[in-house]
Amino acid sequence: MNLPNKLTVARVVLVPFFIFFLLTDIVPLSSLWALVVFALASITDALDGHIARSRNLVTNFGKFLDPLADKVLVISALVCFVDMGLAGAVPVIIIIAREFMVSGLRLVTAGEGVVVAAGIWGKLKTAFTMVAIVVILLFAVIFGKDSSSYEMWVTAVEQTLIWISTALTVISGAIYLNGYKSYINTDK
């Protein structure tokens, strides 16, 4: 297994540790540990793609697992945020629905021998969402995990970040659907 694929696998392996630290209170500084683990996992996302492309180490395994690892990491954070009262269910459901839609589209096009590569809007959506999650985790470190103790402005910033992520998610999903609509022609 090459280095980019090892980094991608590491991102998946870090997810349970991230969830544990985010949802537990038995570990001192658990919010800080959750932030550190999420940040490390996010950095592997930037590194694995850069290394794979610059060293010509792109593999089918990496093409498959990299977007899946991103989805598992981001969706895990967002679902935990809903559980903690840090995000609403509606934007998170929209984000998850888009991820299922794009994954389904990738399956359909793969059957035709076509790989749906991540476009600029998908990359922007992922990058912004990961940064938004880091900011929300930083607020949890500073103000505590209990959203009821937050200042009103913190909640407003968090909700704004989540809704911007949702808007980018919808835009990128629409672009993917439009770009590959010939593969989902319902008349065939």
Q: Does 13 map to a domain? A: yes
* pTM score, whole prediction: 0.88
Token look-up 């959203």 returns: 147
Tokens 């537990």 identify what position? 24
Digit-coded pLDDT (tens) for 80-134: 999 988 899 999 999 999 999 888 888 888 777 777 777 788 889 989 999 999 9
**Which residues touch 132 (CB under 8 Å, ≥6 apart)?**
161, 162, 164, 165
Residue 28: inside a domain = yes
| CATH number of residue 133's parent domain | 1.20.120.1760
Hunting for tokens 């103790």 — which residue is that?
Answer: 149
187 lies in a domain?
A: no
Residue 24, in any domain of the structure: yes
pLDDT grade, residue 49 (50/70/90)?
confident
The domain of 132 spans: 3-181
The reply to whether 158 falls in a domain is: yes
List of residues 6+ apart from 157 with CB closer than 8 A: 135, 139
Q: How far is CA 150 from the centre of its chain?
A: 24
Average pLDDT score over the chain = 88
Integer Cα distance of 186 and 135 in angstroms: 42
DSSP state at residue 28 = T
Residue 100 within any structural domain of the chain? yes
Domain for residue 186, yes or no? no
List Cα–Cα distances, 154 to 136, 147, 184, in angstroms.
9, 9, 42
